[in-house]
Amino acid sequence: MKLVVTCNAQAAAPISIGQGTPVRPTSVLVVGATGTLGRQVVRRALDEGYDVRCLVRPRPAPADFLRDWGATVVNADLSKPETIPATLVGVHTVIDCATGRPEEPIRTVDWEGKVALIQCAKAMGIQKYVFYSIHNCDKHPEVPLMEIKYCTEKFIQDTGLDYTIIRLCGFMQPLTQTLSPSRRPADFVAGVLSGVAPRACFGSGKRHDLGPADIPMGVC
């Protein structure tokens, strides 16, 4: 799918958000930039001429590939709210691709961390907040992550931020790649264990063979 872009980094004039420093509409912060979807969003945004900053947790092996691509990397951790505000300075749009890793407590990042990020975005005059949610999350409150996603959708709407919410089903590209004839079953297991294969596929009787590269950024 071709992303429709109404502006590019060269053409965009700075706009004023009323108080504070004018920001370019092309300045985006990708949260969760090292993830399956996040890195695809970073790649696409750079290709489209956006000025991309990536919020990345401090790590022993730095996410050099993001810098090599041309993005700026800033360190912060959603579970440490005091680290968030500095990452938002000069940013027009936040693209939130983050989610807690399976081994981490679900509420810490996906609820408490997101609340902190969204509140900060509101307080700092962020112009647009893009949030990736889960298909049918409103219908499955018994599933903790889906309940949190639905609550987060409502929380964003209540802030008055300009927002785009994109509800996704499971990413099938890693699975179909892993199951291709050239792969061995052991590779599939390794893929699941390493988190490369999708954790779940949510749908309503329809098949959605979506890969993360097919998913829009939701900026325009």
Ligand X SMILES: NC(=O)c1ccc[n+]([C@@H]2O[C@H](COP(=O)([O-])OP(=O)(O)OC[C@H]3O[C@@H](n4cnc5c(N)ncnc54)[C@H](OP(=O)(O)O)[C@@H]3O)[C@@H](O)[C@H]2O)c1
CA dist 77 → 71, 120, 125, 196, 217 (Å)? 18, 13, 20, 22, 22
With CB under 6 A as the contact rule, which of the stretches 2-10, 34-42, 65-73, 182-190 interacts with ligand X?
34-42
How far apart (Å, rounded) are the C-alpha atoms in residues 53 and 217? 14
CA dist 113 → 1, 19, 57, 68 (Å)? 31, 26, 13, 28
Residue 37 binds ligand X (CB under 6 A): yes
Among 25, 191, 198, 218, the residue binding ligand X under the rule CB under 6 A is 198
Residue 132 binds ligand X (CB under 6 A): yes
Residue 97 binds ligand X (CB under 6 A): yes
Among 57, 107, 122, 140, the residue binding ligand X under the rule CB under 6 A is 57
| Cβ neighbours of 81 (radius 10 Å) | 16
CB of 57 to ligand X, least distance (A): 4
Residue 98 binds ligand X (CB under 6 A): yes
Query: What amino acid occupies position 79?
Result: S
CA dist 212 → 1, 4, 43 (Å)? 12, 17, 11
With CB under 6 A as the contact rule, which of the stretches 30-38, 119-127, 153-161, 183-191 interacts with ligand X?
30-38
Among 87, 93, 99, 178, the residue binding ligand X under the rule CB under 6 A is 99
CB 30 within 8 A of CB 92: no
Query: Closer CB to ligand X, residue 12 or residue 196?
Result: 196
Ramachandran angles phi, psi of 119, nearest 5°: -60, -40
Which residues in this chain contact ligand X in the complex, by CB under 6 A?
A: 32-38, 57, 77-79, 97-101, 109, 113, 132, 134, 168, 170-171, 198
